[in-house]
């Protein structure tokens, strides 16, 4: 065990399963007859236990990571003091729609678990659900559009537009600007041409400037929407098969917390094609002003 757990590349056990039966077979072959149950007892005495991997490594940290978080914090505080809207956006994990297994447990009559499919192959008729969310940091409420096509920048901005029309403009009737905090990749990527063009269209529609601050690389789990909205949605539908798109929407919309979280959701059946080309002329037409600190992460798009 020791050379293997310490990472010795020459150890043959590094390339095989370290189960108690495998260890017992290896010890027996080396002249130390022993059963797998005894191996388990010895491992326990040595401080070993069965464990799953733990997601803690975020990759190489950007030198201005802390500086960007401070910048975002200052931006958010300034907007909130002025009574202006601040939202956190992101795409939740895509889900297969149908009678598939879903992680977690829920109470059922004893001995009558809900039966689901053995294999997680996509149902061509039901497809998948793509939840894109908007979380209002001040109001503690959220909007989720459940898409059925592709997670693109058009879909992302369409969701923000839907939030503004149904919730944002009512919560902030006198808003003079909007701040969006987002990851640096995916459908709201900091380098996405389409993301910026679509935001320009939104700014033109709502007639207020839109500021964007992207989280630094490798910090997506720090996005507020992850632990203030998405985590509660996951808890609400744990152990339940997502049998239809309507079921997904209803489970999201019925998510609440003790702190007063309210969520609205709607199915978006529109088609969002991939690989939409944005010309240099379209990009140049975006009225984008980069901020002094990391303008590739922080910028404001003004209405035309």
Q: What is the pLDDT of residues 171-223, one digit of tens each?
A: 999 999 999 999 999 999 999 999 999 999 999 999 999 999 999 988 888 89
Taking CA atoms, 155 is separated from 62, 145, 197, 215, in Å, by 29, 9, 13, 20
Listed in sequence order, the residues at least 6 apart from 61 whose beta carbon sits closer than 8 Å to its beta carbon are 218
SS3 289: strand
In 3D, which of 85, 119, 50 has the Cα closest to residue 209? 85
For residue 125, what pLDDT is reported?
Answer: 82
Look up the pTM and report it: 0.79
Give all domains of the chain, ordered by start, each with its CATH number. Answer: 2-45 (no CATH), 65-301 (3.30.420.10)
Query: What pLDDT is stored for residue 9 in this prediction?
Result: 46
Contact 76, 137 (CB under 8 A): yes
Which pLDDT belongs to residue 40?
Answer: 87
Contact 149, 272 (CB under 8 A): yes
First to last CA, the chain: 66
For a pLDDT cut of 90, what percent of the chain falls above it? 64
Give the model's pLDDT for residue 242: 85
Is pLDDT above 70 for 12? no
Residues near 11 by beta carbon (within 8 Å), at least 6 away in sequence: 3, 4
* Residues 139-181: tens digit of each pLDDT: 999 999 999 999 999 999 999 999 999 999 999 999 999 999 9
The residues, ordered by sequence, that sit 6+ positions from 66 with a Cβ below 8 Å of its Cβ are: none
- DSSP secondary structure, 80-132, as one string: HHTT--EEEEEEPPPEE-SS---SS----STT-PPP--SS----TTT-EEEEE
Which tens digits make up the pLDDT trace of 17-32? Answer: 567 887 888 788 888 8
Angstrom CA distances, 20 to 34, 206, 290, stand at 10, 63, 58
**Average model confidence (pLDDT) for the chain?**
87
Distance CA(222)–CA(185), nearest Å, equals 14
CA–CA separation, 146 vs 157, rounded Å? 13
**Could you tell me which residues are beta bridge partners of residue 289?**
300
What CA–CA distance (Å, rounded) separates 1 from 21? 13
């Amino acid at each position: 065990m020791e050379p293997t757990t310490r990472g010795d590349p020459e150890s043959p056990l590094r390339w095989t399963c370290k189960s108690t039966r495998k260890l017992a077979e290896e010890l027996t072959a080396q002249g130390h007859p022993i059963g797998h149950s005894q191996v388990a007892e010895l491992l326990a005495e040595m401080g070993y236990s069965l464990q799953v991997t733990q997601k803690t490594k975020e990759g190489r940290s950007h030198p201005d990571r802390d500086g960007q978080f401070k910048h975002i914090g200052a931006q958010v505080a300034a907007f909130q003091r002025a009574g202006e809207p601040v939202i956190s956006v992101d795409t939740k994990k895509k889900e297969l729609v149908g009678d598939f297994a879903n992680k977690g447990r829920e109470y059922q009559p004893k001995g009558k678990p809900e039966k689901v499919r053995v294999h997680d192959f996509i149902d061509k008729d039901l497809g998948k659900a793509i939840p894109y969310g908007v979380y209002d940091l001040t109001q503690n409420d959220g909007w989720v559009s459940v898409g059925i096509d592709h997670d693109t920048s058009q879909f992302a901005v369409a969701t923000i537009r839907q939030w503004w029309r149904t919730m944002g403009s009512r919560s902030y009737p006198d808003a003079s600007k909007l701040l969006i905090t987002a990851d640096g990749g995916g459908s709201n990527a900091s380098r996405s041409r389409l993301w910026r063009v679509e935001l320009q269209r939104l700014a033109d529609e709502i007639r207020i400037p839109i500021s964007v601050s992207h989280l630094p690389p490798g910090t997506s789990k720090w996005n507020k929407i992850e632990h203030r909205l998405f985590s509660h949605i996951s808890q609400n539908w744990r152990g339940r098969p997502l049998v239809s798109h309507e079921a997904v929407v209803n489970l999201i919309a019925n998510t609440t917390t003790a702190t007063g979280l309210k969520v609205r959701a709607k199915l978006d059946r529109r088609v969002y094609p991939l690989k939409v080309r944005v010309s240099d002329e379209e990009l140049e037409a975006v009225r984008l002003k980069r901020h002094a600190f990391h303008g590739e992460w922080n910028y404001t798009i003004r209405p035309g």
